[in-house]
Amino acid sequence: MNDYPMLHILVRWGQPIAITLACLIAAAGIWAALAQGNILWGLLGLGAGAIGYGLLLSYVELVKLVMDMLLPK
């Protein structure tokens, strides 16, 4: 029985989602840098992508920990 479908989705697809979102944020920063001619946007996008990746991945690991410790197997 699957009582917590979102937790299972996060455990299964969390890392690919984190990588995809980080790449999208970095690409948006690079696009903004090319569109406006200011390299600062590209650097900001790369930094925000890296920070976002770390935050999302830590959330996925926290969900994995909760599932391992609290949910019955």
Q: 3 or 55, which is more confident?
A: 55
Q: Which two tokens stand for residue 25?
A: 């944020």
pLDDT at 46 over 80: yes
Q: 34 or 5, which is more confident?
A: 34
pLDDT at 39 over 70: yes
The pTM is what?
0.84
Distance separating alpha carbons of residues 48 and 21, to the nearest angstrom:
11
Question: Average pLDDT in the 45-51 region?
Answer: 97
What phi and psi, each to the nearest 5 degrees, are found at residue 50?
Answer: -65, -45
